[in-house]
Structure 1
Amino acid sequence: MLAPLHIDEELRDALAGLLDGLPPRRAAGAVERLIAGYRGSDPAGVPVLRDRADVVAYAAYRMPATFEAAAAALGALADRAPDLDPATHLDVGGGTGAAVWAAAATWGDGGGHTRATTVLDRAEPALALGRELAETSESAAVRAAEWRRAPIGTDGGLPAADLVTVSYVLGELPENVRHRLVDAAAEAAGRAVVIVEPGTPAGYGRVIEARGRLIDAGLRVLAPCPHSGACPLEPGADWCHFAVRVSRSSLHRQVKGGSLAYEDEKFSYVAAVRPDPDGTLPGAPAGARIVRRPQLRKGQVLLDLCTGPDGERGGLRRATVTRRHRPAYRAARDAAWGDTWDEEPGGEEARE
């Protein structure tokens, strides 16, 4: 079954309906308080969403961006594993449900079935708002999602599901709790785990940490990395992240205090899959991925690539694609940051 059309527009309309009844000053004040808390360095200091007004303000401020980032990460997984069609989805720390909508945008309601989705979160106001938003969707999978209050990262396990998502959650947890949560997500996932964090050095650090634990648990990376070996980036000197453009409604601009009709959300992520009993994977990583914005020069395109065979340490390469290699050159001119790259580049130089 094809994904529902314009699910992002459905979500924006649903959010606009919620904001319509919230005084702008109340929304702006809640957003300022939430921003101050989320920018703090202490996970224990992340503010609790106290009431409906807080949750509505948070959803208006962050949900469009977290939806786009989660949709990009899930889309990358679907691209590398085109036969993967999760019948069950567990969204851990899902809050108002951005990843639930993103899964519907990626796989629709499932091939011949309605995907069974469970959202776990510790904040009841967030779950209540997520449930309210979901009721407005045309997607049966979104409408049928179960919203369940539960502690996150405790010693208990998680319900089993084909797909487990953990988006924008790890940064709110102390290190030992993060570790328990990632290990539990790996154990619960029948097919795949997708983890998304902000595209900051700290967010990337949490993703790399989680990536290592997923690999240790027997999963293999399909995206964004073209391998399951060690990340070739020098720790502390660089970080792997990507960006998606987020459209802003007039109400969204009002809450965020901005004038532009869009914003760019930077994010880091990892999508890992469980091998079949015979060791085969339900997909394959790309030959390489573009990790910086392509640079257009006269008669050539410069691509910064992460490459490397599965099981070995990846490498960073600067690919110079020239006009004389016409198919690759045309592909390079159309390529974007975050895209996969499987063309013959027409010449590579190792990048230190």
Structure 2
Amino acid sequence: MPRRTASPPFPECRAGGKKPSPAALRASRPARQTAGRLPLVSPWPRGEGLFPPLHAEARLALERLPDALRAVWPLNAAHRRSLPGDVAALSRLLTAERRDLRRPYWSSPSFVSAYLYYFLPWNLVRLTRLLAALPLPDPRELAPAGGEALLLDAGSGPLSLPLALWLARPQWREAPVRVLALDSAAQPLELGKALFAAWGARLGWKTWPVRTARGPLESLPRQAAPLLVGKEGARRRPWLITAANVLNELRPERKSAGGRRPREECAGDEEGAEAAWRGPLTERLDRLLDALAPLLFRQNDAEPAHAAADGRALPGLLFVEPGTRLGGTVVMRLRELALAGGLAALAPCPHSGACPLLAGQGGRTWCHFTFDSRDAPDWLARLSNEAGLVKSGLSLAPLLLGAAAERQAPPAVAPGGEKTLSARVLSAAFAASGLYGRARYACTAEGLALLEDAEALASGDHLPVRLPPDAPRDAKSRARIIRRPGARAGAKP
């Protein structure tokens, strides 16, 4: 989203600096920082949040995650002492020192420890909050009679997304779900599978059976084929197809020592990097969507485009990328290609029209959402502090695609020309000249909007807004200015 001031987008990613004190760590936790302050009163209708707080079961599970990690990847005393330094070293390697990454990090036991005890848990915190709010299809409704709902996770690593989904939706833990986890490396898959079993056993929760497979993202349909054959040879549909933190790795083809880098959301992306590989990236994304098409679309003219042969809806297709310039830009370009190919943007996009950030901002900004880190378990916050990587906030760039028949309804238009739009808040609050309070940008079917007096809203909130036909445009961003509800026409702040 357009920025009013030049500031680092991710202050939590400053690796290599002075370690904050415990007092600074406590101050960085939003739940404590705002203690004693009166909540802001919003003139806007209550928005539907994109990142609800973790429910009690998920918080308990994350507190007990180290028990399961020790069963899968135990640390001796020396490794426990070196863990904060290993985390900081891996973070530097993935940001300022990325050029020095010449071999897969899985070949280094210290980096495997850093990933499992730091990067994976933070990804679980992010993804669990997101997956609790997205309008995902219910596996209990899509599973065939007597069969299983299939979750196909591409670029799965140590099963970050399946684990987060298992945490986020407790009502689905007993559902007949089977996971196919695909990755180019075997070790993270096996570690994730073992962690899933160990974690479920310690919590006393049912886990989903997992099958692992090695291969590139485009091989997912071939790897899934044996699981998609139903009774009497009938072809079945998957329930959900997912890929988290992998599209930003689709660089121009270049051979290396192999392996994948960890899912670090703070990769140091240069502003000009995306332009250098824009063409190859688009080609690779296009090939990926073509490869997934047999899992998504009808196979003959007798089958409705928006439904499977047995009448159930087609599977959802979910991508989640880091909230960096690179991750957000990749998601915007993927969305553009997916819509051109007959899919619809279901969430978090409030519409399936052209992306206003991609079309109107000339590459100056990217789609992403930020939220607080208050739900992180205390042990993870302590480790982050010891590694000098305190997180004041988290960021993601998600995209849920589905059948074109599920597109949102067009905006309602009043007799005077005023439109009621579905809006998704994009930015942090900032002071805007000539407007009451602090404003926020939002995405709508009519393009970018600037919401007046919106500090009480949060990044990712989904709410209805009213756009009058004569709404002025912001001089800097060209966004349509939407005054706060109840504001008198012509009133000045």
In the TM superposition, 1:77-156 aligns within 5 A as 77-78=134-135, 87-110=149-172, 113-135=175-197, 136-137=199-200, 138=203, 143-154=207-218
Deviation for aligned residue 1:220: 0.5
C-alpha contact 1:109 1:115 (8 A) present in aligned 2: no
1:10 corresponds to 2:139: no
Deviations 1:225-280 (A, max 9, x none): 212222112132111211233325335533663468754222212111124xxx34
Deviations 1:64-113 (A, max 9, x none): 2222332344344228x789966331111111222112212343353973
Deviation for aligned residue 1:153: 2.8
Aligned-residue Cα RMSD (Å) equals 3.8
1:21 alignment partner AA: L
Q: 2:395 aligns with which of 233, 247, 266?
A: 266
Question: What is the aligned partner in structure 1 of residue 448 from structure 2?
Answer: 316
C-alpha contact 2:93 2:100 (8 A) present in aligned 1: no
Deviations 1:316-341 (A, max 9, x none): 111225xxxxxxxxxx5642111112
Q: 2:344 aligns with which of 209, 220, 229?
A: 220
**Whole-Å Cα distance in 2 between the matches of residues 37 and 46 of structure 1?**
11
Using the TM superposition, name which of 151-160 and 261-270 deviates more.
151-160
C-alpha contact 2:316 2:402 (8 A) present in aligned 1: yes
Question: What is the aligned partner in structure 2 of residue 230 from structure 1?
Answer: 354
1:254 alignment partner AA: L
Cα distance change on mapping 1:205 and 1:343 into 2, 3 Å: closer
2:69 alignment partner AA: L
Question: What is the aligned partner in structure 2 of residue 304 from structure 1?
Answer: 441
C-alpha contact 2:155 2:217 (8 A) present in aligned 1: no
TM-score, with length taken from structure 2: 0.57
Q: 2:422 aligns with which of 287, 307, 313?
A: 287
**Whole-Å Cα distance in 2 between the matches of residues 120 and 261 of structure 1?**
32
Q: What SS does the corresponding residue of 2:424 show, helix, strand or coil?
A: strand
Q: What SS does the corresponding residue of 1:77 show, helix, strand or coil?
A: coil
C-alpha contact 1:4 1:108 (8 A) present in aligned 2: no
Unaligned ranges ≥5, structure 1: 309-313, 322-331
Deviation for aligned residue 1:289: 0.4
**Whole-Å Cα distance in 2 between the matches of residues 41 and 203 of structure 1?**
16
Unaligned ranges ≥5, structure 2: 1-53, 143-148, 225-236, 252-280, 297-313, 412-420, 479-493
Give the length in aligned residue pairs.
330
Q: What SS does the corresponding residue of 1:267 show, helix, strand or coil?
A: strand
**Whole-Å Cα distance in 2 between the matches of residues 165 and 183 of structure 1?**
15
Deviation for aligned residue 1:53: 4.7
Deviation for aligned residue 1:157: 2.9
Specify which structure has the bigger relative contact order, considering alpha-carbon pairs within 8 angstroms and separated by 6 or more residues.
Answer: 2
Cα distance change on mapping 1:15 and 1:350 into 2, 3 Å: farther
2:400 alignment partner AA: A
Q: What SS does the corresponding residue of 2:87 show, helix, strand or coil?
A: helix
1:58 corresponds to 2:112: no
TM-score, with length taken from structure 1: 0.77
1:161 alignment partner AA: P
**Whole-Å Cα distance in 1 between the matches of residues 218 and 331 of structure 2?**
20
Q: Which has the higher strand share?
A: 1
**Whole-Å Cα distance in 2 between the matches of residues 180 and 37 of structure 1?**
30
C-alpha contact 2:150 2:179 (8 A) present in aligned 1: yes
